[in-house]
Amino acid sequence: MKFNLYDNVKEFHQDVHSILLTHEAQNMLILGNLKIGYEGKDKHDWRDPVNWVMATVVNEEEILLTALMTPPFGITLYAKDNLVFDEAIKCLVDGLINSDILVPGVVSEKGLAQRFAEIYGNTKGVGFDMTMSQRIYELTEVNPDVLQLGELRLLNEKDMAFFPYWAEEMNSAVFGVLKAVGGEIDPYLYSISAGNSYVLEVDGMPVSMAKISRELEQVCGIAMVYTPPYFRGKGYASSCVAKLSQVALERGFSGCVLYTDLANPTSNSIYQKVGYQEICDSLEIKFEEIG
């Protein structure tokens, strides 16, 4: 087997894109990032591929393993046809280590993530911890029986009165760190300017939000789903996700994909009621810092 390291995102895209599309919903994360780098329209923060790590493991006939890392985030992996081979993972790990590439973590389909973490950890001599167990869902049709409340509209700059606070509360729930909203407003304005974030209003009051992310060939992602505590338990999150999913389908996507934290049974129940069906489980694993 052979380890290939790329320094050109277009060459990497040419080699792996069709392979990743065989499981498009599962590969939402890696495909979305690859699209950003390939198009080169957005080089904000980590989106500039100049610092990316792009690699494949091949045998005599085909690519067996695809890897993309967008620092400071962990590496994302896909094993062709979801066939996990230790030999291919070992080849990837050796190639990364011999290239002096440090991997802070891994996000991938559960079995592949676990095996990569074990082999990388043992080879590098570092420990690792699972930081999040997720489930990937896909919707192809909104459940017609789901209760739909309020009106959905795009976020705009007038929503800066509440959006930064909602965004940080949501990030706190996901990452466990609450960032105070200070004088730096550019990141929030940047999110609004993308034109893909929506808010659900009931009687003129903003009650929930979500956004369309990672628009791929056939599917798109639904992310940033957040409802303030005061408005929870009223069906607003279900309505927001249902309405936004319908918007995406009417725009021509065949499906909508979202990730859920398996530690949050409420969100998993909500999405299934809307019409989302399980694709696979995914793990996020962090390695111990070295030095």
Looking at residue 61, its pLDDT comes to 86
Q: How many CA atoms lie within 13 A of 212 on its CB side?
A: 24
State whether 233 and 171 are in the same domain: yes
State whether 201 and 90 are in the same domain: no
State whether 60 and 103 are in the same domain: yes
Counting as low any pLDDT under 50, the low residues of the chain are: none
Domain boundary among 109, 125, 141: 125
State whether 81 and 156 are in the same domain: no
Looking at residue 179, its pLDDT comes to 65
Looking at residue 59, its pLDDT comes to 94
What is the CATH classification number for the domain harbouring 233? 3.40.630.30
Write out the two tokens for 197: 């974030």
Q: Specify if 291 maps to a domain.
A: no
Write out the two tokens for 274: 């809307």
State whether 155 and 270 are in the same domain: yes
Q: Specify if 84 maps to a domain.
A: yes
**Its pTM surpasses 0.75:** yes
Domain boundary among 67, 90, 125: 125
What is the CATH classification number for the domain harbouring 82? 3.40.630
Q: Specify if 144 maps to a domain.
A: no
Q: How far apart are alpha carbons 166 and 225 in whole angstroms? A: 10
Question: Does the CA dihedral 20-23-24-28 come out positive or negative?
Answer: negative
Looking at residue 133, its pLDDT comes to 94
Q: Give residue 116's identity as a one-letter amino acid code.
A: F
| Residue range(s) defining the domain that contains residue 192 | 151-281
Domain boundary among 68, 91, 125: 125
State whether 158 and 208 are in the same domain: yes
Q: Give residue 78's identity as a one-letter amino acid code.
A: Y
Total number of residues shown for the chain: 291
Q: How far apart are alpha carbons 38 and 231 in whole angstroms? A: 40
Q: Specify if 168 maps to a domain.
A: yes
State whether 51 and 93 are in the same domain: yes
Q: How far apart are alpha carbons 213 and 253 in whole angstroms? A: 12
State whether 222 and 261 are in the same domain: yes
Q: Scanning the structure block, which residue is given the tokens 């676990």? A: 114
Q: How far apart are alpha carbons 182 and 211 in whole angstroms? A: 23
State whether 75 and 197 are in the same domain: no
- CA-closest candidate to residue 151, choices 231, 227, 244, 220: 244
| Number of domains observed in the structure of the chain | 2
Write out the two tokens for 261: 């934290």
Q: How far apart are alpha carbons 201 and 159 in whole angstroms? A: 12
Q: Specify if 231 maps to a domain.
A: yes
Q: How far apart are alpha carbons 213 and 261 in whole angstroms? A: 17
Q: Classify residue 17 as exposed, middle or buried by CB count within 10 Å of its CB (0-12, 13-18, 19+).
A: middle
Give strand pairing partners of 53. Answer: 69
Looking at residue 135, its pLDDT comes to 96
Q: Specify if 43 maps to a domain.
A: yes
State whether 172 and 121 are in the same domain: no
